[in-house]
Structure 1
Amino acid sequence: MQPIVNYENADLARLKSAAANVVSRLTDHDSRQGVPIAHPMLDGVDAYAHKALAGKAPAVPTTRDANDPEAAAYLAYLTHHKAHAVFSGNKQIEAQMQAQLDDFSFGNPAWQQMFDEYVKYFWAYPGHSGGKLDYRSWRDPEYGGGSYDYGCVSWQLPSDATIALIGDIGTGTDVAAAVLTSALSFKPDAILHVGDVYYSGTEQEFDTYFLGLLNAAFTATGHRPPVYTLPGNHEYFCGAFPYFRCLDEGRLVNHPHQQQQASYFRLTTEDEAWQILGMDTGYHGHYLKVAGDKLDEALGELHVTPRDAYDPQNPPPMVYVRSDEVDWHRHHLSQFSGRTLLFGHHQLYSGRFTVGVAPDYDGDINRPGVNTALWQAFGPYFDKVAAWFWGHEHNLCIFEDNFRPTGWPPNSSEPDNPLKTLAKGRCIGHSAIPVQERETPYAEVNPVPIIPGTQLQMVEQWYNRGFEILKLNGAGQPAHCTYYQVAGADPAPLKIYSEEIR
């Protein structure tokens, strides 16, 4: 197994997408093997990206061979900065970058192709040209016209539905294929994906590493359930236009009445005992942790003024859901008499990563490991929520039930209490992106404990990937969720843990 190096930085993710697309064409890369991983151009982009995120620039190479790792890193540097000089209209810097690029006699046409691809992906993000991100508000006359029914899928799940849950699977790799094949062996009535198509959700990546992956698995297993997918941060790096095209073309479903309209959705069972609410956290979550100040420093190495070169997003302190969408979810939570399952891409809390902010004063409810913006948006309805599943973190984390941050006020059942306790929070972003032992995914940086004995196992220092099978059992009966892993590319399902969800 090899690592798939991806970036939470939008510019660097687009650069990696551009390089991967060029490498695929140059090498006749077999898309059935997933995103291209090993090539001097990709290695060069990664070497440059690691420097850029640290606010540094690669050293001038002693060789002019574009296949040399040192030279490839510098070529990535020059290509990226030439693009931003073009964006800022700085002809002098653009000429300087081009003059240095021309010194590389081998491989330069490929880097020009990468430049062209990066420019295309950069401008695909509408914020750079004063446009708005694609989003379909239920309040917008063009979409829902103020109807809460907008975003509700008319097709209903069987009362005893079997649902496969996957996260961060859009890589097209043999491991991702094994996870899907294993999940499909349970003959699910639907698949729910909590988002992320790598590296930046381009059309080519959607067509190949998400839709292509799904179709290959459906053909191999002879089972084709409808798929419902949420946008992660990577889908929004290119404005989420390929994501919405994917929904509109109906390629994820078998019948029009199964189709998903928006980046959020509602599914119900035929007996109205359960509803599933999928939320869009990517809209305000795709510019988090971009290390923008460091990238600014790297751009400044060539005297490009960062704010002239691109339109940087000022990240919010925490990922959050749009207020109009929160109102939509709250309506369906308050009006539904059954139980609810929530799905989103970003974490509500994490034991490993910072998803919130540190408290400023005694009694402040903020915690680095807790997204209090999401908690307070949905907290008043947690007594109606049986479980919340999310991804983003490439790990399986079955957190202890009814987790409540230390120092918070006691839980209460008052209807408007935004700090009610969630029964079950589950991170399921472990379907495809490889994670090595040295990455210590289970290190407890924040006091958010997981249930003992539920960690993923390893094969040769690589953590297994996996999926979940959620079984509904009709009105008045608890649902059952079983967590599975697969060892490498072997699709045999290996049970980790099973629980009731009430």
Structure 2
Amino acid sequence: MAQGNNETLNPASKDDVLKGMHQMLKALQDKDSKTTAALNQADVPSELSTEERRQAAIKKLMDSIKNVEEESQPQGHAFHSREDAAGIIQSSFEANVMPELQGFSEGNPIVWIPAGIKGILEHLNGKFPFQKATKASRIEIPNKCKIALLGDWGADNDHAKNVAAQAMTYNPDYVIHLGDIYYSGSSSECETFLKNWPLKGEDGKPAKAKSFALNGNHEMYSLGKPYFTMVLPAFGQEASYFTLYNEHWQFQGLDTAYVPFSISGGCVDDRLKVQWDWLKQSITENPAKRNILLSHNQPVSAHLSELVAAQALMNEARQLLQETRLGAIYGWFFGHEHRCTVYRDDVTSALFRARLIGNGAIGHHPQEEAEPAKDESGAACAPWKWVNRRSFEDKGVVAISSFALLTIDEERIHVEYIDEDGVVGYEEAWLAGDQIGVGTKSS
């Protein structure tokens, strides 16, 4: 971990992230020589002068500092900013994921500031191009198979490694990551993600056509470039959306991070219309199959702080049902919130079964609320029927991480929510002909 002024900066601490952002801002304002060199090395339009680059970085940092100051960090939660510049700086704190910094001396903020500045300035280039899927991304799977879903798993820590090891004890046929490679989906972080990936091929690399990765907001902090150019090729995956199907089911992997909380791109980016059309076509052309959506972002939430953004994706879900058919979405697994929650089907069943599995690696305090938060109307937040409240008491009451295992047996799917220590916290049976999933065990 990089240091500044003989002080260790912790990327999981909001105070330290802000401290680092202010150090970077001062280095830019003081026209430090290393900082100036970084400005000129950044991959941005060559016609921009050094001073124009400096002012662009200063403006971005000042805006980001204000946004980070307003972000909350619940007690006991590791800080994972929703602000792209902060995510880049968090990556920069970690010397082990920034090999280009090894030539600088320790004990100096210049160890991490140049890489952070280059990352921030490269946002002037815009996102990596959205990739269009072809029929090769519609993949047939057996009527009997196992799928492991890992949500927010892309952290190189013990929780992630425990989850991966537990998942592999069940010999899954497919493993799908629901997105978020921390802290900013940088090239080095994506390399580590691939190295740690649990499902290996004969060559020791991720098993192609068996491994899938959805896009997350943290991947987009690096404009999506390492995700699209490193992770997807390693998995043999041509786009950030896909369909796995068999005789009874369709699993629709979706990109809701390229444009945050959107499948279609809306009025923000019309490049995502190909994904929206893909999903609609897959549903309408296969009316006998039940659809299970997979995404990073959540369409519902029990927490007010997450609800506003979720409503945009829920509105798209309603639009999708209007343009296809009511009941077209059987269920939806998602991450983003670092919790594991089975929402009540009697509330969401008119649309879909909602399942949050975003506690794949990031340590935090276990959920304590007895009831979901409510807005002024008391109706907006989604109630749950089960929440994973387990924790490691001997580690400062750190919430346990987990994953979901789907055992598909023709028309039936047995869903297990399995913790990193092997405990099955909850399980339920989904049947293609049912309207409601039935929970069978909780701890």
TM above 0.5, yes or no, is: yes
Check 1:194–1:379 CA distance in 2 against 1; reply closer, same or farther (3 A cut): same
**Worse-superposed segment, 319-328 or 109-118:** 319-328
Cross-structure match for 2:318 = 376
User: Following the alignment from structure 2 to structure 1, what is the Cα–Cα distance between the partners of residues 368 and 26?
Assistant: 34
Which amino acid is the alignment partner of residue 469 of structure 1? L
Quick check: which has more Rg, 1 or 2?
A: 1
Cross-structure match for 1:450 = 384
Check 1:353–1:265 CA distance in 2 against 1; reply closer, same or farther (3 A cut): farther
Once the two structures are superposed, what CA deviation does each residue of 1:356-395 show, in whole Å capped at 9, x if it has no partner?
Answer: 54xxxxxxxxx98674333224333451322100000011
Structure possessing the higher relative contact order (Cα contacts under 8 Å, 6 or more residues apart): 1
> Among 225, 231, 238, which residue is 1:261 paired with?
238
User: Following the alignment from structure 2 to structure 1, what is the Cα–Cα distance between the partners of residues 399 and 12?
Assistant: 26
Check 1:466–1:356 CA distance in 2 against 1; reply closer, same or farther (3 A cut): closer
Secondary structure at 1:243's aligned position in 2?
A: helix
- Whether 1:484 aligns to 2:418 is yes
- Normalized per residue, which structure has more strand? 2
User: Following the alignment from structure 2 to structure 1, what is the Cα–Cα distance between the partners of residues 301 and 270?
Assistant: 15
> Among 199, 205, 225, which residue is 1:241 paired with?
225
Cross-structure match for 2:345 = 401
Cross-structure match for 1:285 = 260
C-alpha contact 1:164 1:188 (8 A) present in aligned 2: yes
Once the two structures are superposed, what CA deviation does each residue of 1:201-253 show, in whole Å capped at 9, x if it has no partner?
Answer: 00000001x1121169889x99968211100111111111111122453x33x
Cross-structure match for 2:285 = 335
> Among 127, 137, 148, which residue is 2:132 paired with?
137
After superposition, residues 423-438 of structure 1 pair within 5 angstroms as 423-437=352-366
TM-score (norm 1): 0.61
Which amino acid is the alignment partner of residue 159 of structure 1? N
Secondary structure at 1:340's aligned position in 2?
A: strand
After superposition, residues 14-163 of structure 1 pair within 5 angstroms as 40-42=8-10, 46-47=14-15, 49-50=17-18, 75-79=23-27, 88-90=53-55, 110-125=108-123, 128-129=124-125, 131-138=126-133, 144=134, 149=135, 151-153=137-139, 156-163=140-147
User: Following the alignment from structure 2 to structure 1, what is the Cα–Cα distance between the partners of residues 175 and 28?
Assistant: 38
After superposition, residues 296-315 of structure 1 pair within 5 angstroms as none
**Worse-superposed segment, 330-339 or 112-121:** 112-121
Return 5+ residue gaps in structure 1 as ranges: 1-19, 27-38, 51-57, 59-71, 95-105, 139-143, 253-258, 288-314, 358-366, 405-419, 487-491
Return 5+ residue gaps in structure 2 as ranges: 40-49, 60-103, 375-380, 432-443
Which amino acid is the alignment partner of residue 345 of structure 1? H
User: Following the alignment from structure 2 to structure 1, what is the Cα–Cα distance between the partners of residues 283 and 429?
Assistant: 21
C-alpha contact 2:150 2:404 (8 A) present in aligned 1: yes
Once the two structures are aligned, what percentage of the paired residues are identical? Answer: 23
User: Following the alignment from structure 1 to structure 2, what is the Cα–Cα distance between the partners of residues 188 and 44?
Assistant: 32
User: Following the alignment from structure 1 to structure 2, what is the Cα–Cα distance between the partners of residues 455 and 214?
Assistant: 24
Which amino acid is the alignment partner of residue 388 of structure 2? Q
User: Following the alignment from structure 2 to structure 1, what is the Cα–Cα distance between the partners of residues 201 and 403?
Assistant: 16
- Whether 1:392 aligns to 2:336 is yes
After superposition, residues 208-219 of structure 1 pair within 5 angstroms as 208=192, 210-214=193-197
TM-score (norm 2): 0.69
> Among 399, 408, 432, which residue is 1:472 paired with?
408
Which amino acid is the alignment partner of residue 197 of structure 1? I
Which amino acid is the alignment partner of residue 349 of structure 1? V
Count of residue pairs brought into register by the alignment? 352
User: Following the alignment from structure 2 to structure 1, what is the Cα–Cα distance between the partners of residues 398 and 268?
Assistant: 30
Check 1:188–1:168 CA distance in 2 against 1; reply closer, same or farther (3 A cut): same
Check 1:172–1:229 CA distance in 2 against 1; reply closer, same or farther (3 A cut): same
Check 1:473–1:223 CA distance in 2 against 1; reply closer, same or farther (3 A cut): farther
C-alpha contact 1:403 1:423 (8 A) present in aligned 2: no
User: Following the alignment from structure 1 to structure 2, what is the Cα–Cα distance between the partners of residues 193 and 123?
Assistant: 29
C-alpha contact 1:317 1:356 (8 A) present in aligned 2: no
> Among 386, 399, 413, which residue is 1:463 paired with?
399
Check 1:87–1:185 CA distance in 2 against 1; reply closer, same or farther (3 A cut): farther
How far residue 484 of structure 1 moved from its aligned partner, in angstroms, is 1.1
Check 1:400–1:163 CA distance in 2 against 1; reply closer, same or farther (3 A cut): same
User: Following the alignment from structure 1 to structure 2, what is the Cα–Cα distance between the partners of residues 470 and 245?
Assistant: 29
